[in-house]
Amino acid sequence: MPEPIIFAIPKGRILDEALPLLARVGIEPAADFFDKKSRALVFGTNQPHISLIRVRAFDVATFVAHGAAQLGIVGSDVVDEFAYSELYAPVDLGIGHCRLSLAGPEGSAPPGIGESHIRVATKYPATTRRWFEAQGIQAECIKLNGAMEIAPKLGLASHIVDLVSTGRTLVENALAEQVVISEVSARLIVNRAAFKLRSAEVPELVEKFRAAAGQGDAAA
Ligand SMILES: Nc1ncnc2c1ncn2[C@@H]1O[C@H](COP(=O)(O)OP(=O)(O)OP(=O)(O)O)[C@@H](O)[C@H]1O
Ligand SMILES: O=P(O)(O)OC[C@H]1O[C@H](OP(=O)(O)OP(=O)(O)O)[C@H](O)[C@@H]1O
């Protein structure tokens, strides 16, 4: 028996939308996956050769990039932030839609040309630095793991780069969206080496996800 395929899924917001997609591909997690009291992190599925791990969104990319998991589901925000060369993101799953945006205090102008330096609070320092560099502005990024929206008010940074969906979090913290940096959706990610080494299983799974996401003709 070969080692099981390890499939990494995020435990945050994407999970609810990912489960129906997994079901369309024919993967049903074992009952303990849904047991809120369970502290288990690896779960069997109805497919004897597929196990699930449920980890934090950023860690999905890390597990797959290092080959500890062969496949995973993660937002394009995370794929772009890491830019791991070992990651292949062949399918836009059409779930987890939001956008990564620059925001600043309500009524303020976005940072402009001629401005040489800006301090930005974000969970996405690499993406933020890259984007500001393209605008000719050097961004000093302060890495936060959540609640970015309070940083401008407390003087930690003048702007934030964060995910926006309804826009409610920005409004309730007296901030305004100034520039959309990227549109975000969840992607199927695959370890490049596993795609070749597990050629009997991984490419077929990719095609099933493509079909389940409405992007191909392969039967689910
Ligand atoms: N407001 C939102 N609307 C839609 N999708 C979102 C929103 N916020 C985040 N996402 C998507 O869901 C992914 C995971 O978000 P979430 O913060 O819930 O995950 P998590 O695993 O709890 O992360 P962590 O605990 O490490 O902060 C994001 O990377 C993004 O792709
Ligand atoms: O535009 P909205 O619909 O208000 O959504 C945006 C919020 O959602 C995400 O945070 P999340 O709730 O995942 O919490 P976090 O700050 O812990 O990441 C994001 O970081 C924003 O704070």
Highest mean pLDDT, choosing among 38-42, 107-111, 180-184: 180-184
Is 158 within the bounds of a domain?
Answer: yes
Same domain, 92 and 9: yes
Same domain, 179 and 189: no
Is 218 within the bounds of a domain?
Answer: no
Any atom of ligand 1 within 6 Å of the Cβ of 77: yes
Same domain, 134 and 62: no
Same domain, 39 and 84: yes
Ligand 2 mutation target, pool 77, 145, 162, most atoms within 8 A of CB = 162
Residue 219 confidence (pLDDT):
39
Residue 215 confidence (pLDDT):
80
Residue 113 confidence (pLDDT):
64
Same domain, 61 and 110: no
Is 191 within the bounds of a domain?
Answer: yes
Is 110 within the bounds of a domain?
Answer: yes
For the cut 90, the answer to whether the pLDDT of residue 114 exceeds it is no
Query: Ligand 2 centre and the CA of 103: distance in Å?
Result: 13
| Residue nearest (by alpha carbon) to ligand 1 atom 26 | 56
- For residue range 41-57, list pLDDT tens digits in order: 999 999 999 999 999 99
Phi, psi of 82 (to 5 degrees): -85, -35
Any atom of ligand 2 within 6 Å of the Cβ of 145: no
- What is the ipTM score, two decimals? 0.93
Same domain, 13 and 91: yes
Q: Which domain holds residue 112?
A: 98-183
Spatial separation of the C-alpha atoms in residues 125 and 139, rounded to whole Å:
9
pTM value is 0.93
Is 120 within the bounds of a domain?
Answer: yes
Query: Ligand 2 centre and the CA of 8: distance in Å?
Result: 22
Same domain, 105 and 57: no
Structurally, how many domains does the chain consist of? 2
Same domain, 114 and 13: no
Is 49 within the bounds of a domain?
Answer: yes
| Residue nearest (by alpha carbon) to ligand 1 atom 8 | 163
Is 217 within the bounds of a domain?
Answer: no
Task: Give a three-class secondary structure readout of the chain.
Answer: CCCCEEEEEECCCHHHHHHHHHHHHCCCECHHHHCCCCCCCEEEECCCCEEEEEECHHHHHHHHHCCCCCEEEEEHHHHHHHCCCCEEEEEECCCCCEEEEEEEECCCCCCCCCCCEEEEEECCHHHHHHHHHHCCCEEEEEECCCCHHHCCCCCCCCEEEEEECCCHHHHHCCEEEEEEEEEECEEEEEEHHHHHHCCCCHHHHHHHHHHHCCCCCCCC
Same domain, 191 and 87: yes
| Residue nearest (by alpha carbon) to ligand 1 atom 5 | 96
**Cβ neighbours of residue 167 under 8 Å, at least 6 residues apart?**
177
Is 72 within the bounds of a domain?
Answer: yes
Higher pLDDT, 79 or 218: 79
CA 142 → CA 70, 100, 187, distances in Å?
32, 16, 27
Residue 216 confidence (pLDDT):
62
Same domain, 9 and 48: yes
For the cut 50, the answer to whether the pLDDT of residue 7 exceeds it is yes
- For residue range 13-37, list pLDDT tens digits in order: 999 999 999 999 999 999 999 988 8
Spatial separation of the C-alpha atoms in residues 220 and 217, rounded to whole Å:
9
Q: Which residues of 154-191 are buried (b: 16+ CB within 10 A; e: fewer)?
A: eeebbbbbbbbeeeebbeebebebeeebeebbbbbbbb
Find the mean pLDDT for residues 178-191.
98
Which ligand is located closest to the Cα atom of residue 14? 1
For the cut 90, the answer to whether the pLDDT of residue 116 exceeds it is no
Task: Work out which ligand 2 atom sits closest to the CA atom of 169.
Answer: 4
